[in-house]
Amino acid sequence: MSLPGPSTTVTAAMRDRRSVRAFTDQPVDRALLRTILETAQRAPSGGNVQPWQVSVLTGDSLSAMIAAVGARLAMGAAGSQPEYQIYPDPTPDPWMARRYGVAYAMYESLGIAREDKMGRAMAMANNFKAFGAPVLLFVHCQRFMGPPQWADMGIWLQSVMLLCREAGLDTCPQEAWANFGQTVRDQLGLGDDQILYTGLAIGHADWSAPVNNFPVDRAPLDEVVSWHGF
Ligand SMILES: Cc1cc2nc3c(=O)[nH]c(=O)nc-3n(C[C@H](O)[C@H](O)[C@H](O)COP(=O)(O)O)c2cc1C
């Protein structure tokens, strides 16, 4: 297995980036994160609105977030406070098949059988420990922002993930935190005028963990691209 070191081109960063769900406890330097976030400010947005607002947590602040959300998680369905509906209901194929595809590949890498509901729930709960990452960042914006501004937040998010790769850091975007939007906002001191988009775990990947090594396919290009006038 070749371990991805820092990516030195945009192409390499695109190819090497993957969602990392096991981190070492090596801390992440605040100055390095600041440089990454400064550079990510160059991300484009419609009308240069730059809708993203960002909260970055480590240490005690991260522990307090994990404890607060963990308490809600322990309440079962009653503890959930969805900020928005993450997936369309129903989600038809081929989109649903893609969701299942990555989920089963991940559970298989963790040695969790498909019918093991408890095992899957415990793996899911790992989201709320930021997969052991030393840094967790939250992206939020004003609640009145619409789909175009949400797309802008996505562009910003990928910019950060690619810049992290260049810095030898890895990431996992985590919209799972949006299931506990109120608690996250309370912990961050954000009012109801803000809406939480996603978390982003950041740290040094533990490449020895099988969960960081299973392949995640993409649809063949011709399924998503049609050419006109060529
Ligand atoms: C906005 C966003 C939110 C995501 N939320 C989660 C999450 O809550 N938990 C998780 O394990 N993965 C999450 N993912 C990771 C996706 O499952 C992953 O990007 C997808 O399966 C493709 O795999 P790759 O990132 O390893 O290439 C999220 C990805 C994005 C872009």
Strand partners, 139: 54, 198
Mean pLDDT over 196-214 rounds to 98
Q: Residue 1's pLDDT is what? A: 46
Residue 218 falls inside a structural domain: no
Residue 54 falls inside a structural domain: yes
Task: Return the structure tokens found at 159.
Answer: 């910019």
Q: Residue 121's pLDDT is what? A: 93
- For the segment 103-118, what is each residue's pLDDT rounded down to a tens digit? 999 999 999 998 999 9
- Pocket of ligand 1 from Cβ distances under 6 Å: 18-19, 21, 102, 127, 172-176, 198, 216
In the reported structure, the alpha carbon of residue 172 is separated from the centroid of ligand 1 by a whole-number distance in angstroms of 6
Residue 219 falls inside a structural domain: no
Confidence category of residue 4, pLDDT binned at 50, 70, 90: confident
Residue 139 falls inside a structural domain: yes
Residue 198 falls inside a structural domain: yes
In the reported structure, the alpha carbon of residue 19 is separated from the centroid of ligand 1 by a whole-number distance in angstroms of 6
Residue 135 is inside which H or E element, if any?
A: strand 135-142
Confidence category of residue 33, pLDDT binned at 50, 70, 90: very high
Q: Residue 16's pLDDT is what? A: 96
Which CATH number does the domain housing residue 133 bear?
Answer: 3.40.109.10
Task: Report the alpha-carbon angle 212-218-220, nearest 5.
Answer: 155
Residue-number span of the structural domain to which 198 is assigned: 10-86+129-213
Residue 107 falls inside a structural domain: no
Residue 5 falls inside a structural domain: no
Atom of ligand 1 lying closest to residue 176 CA = 8
Q: Residue 2's pLDDT is what? A: 55
Count of domains for the chain: 1
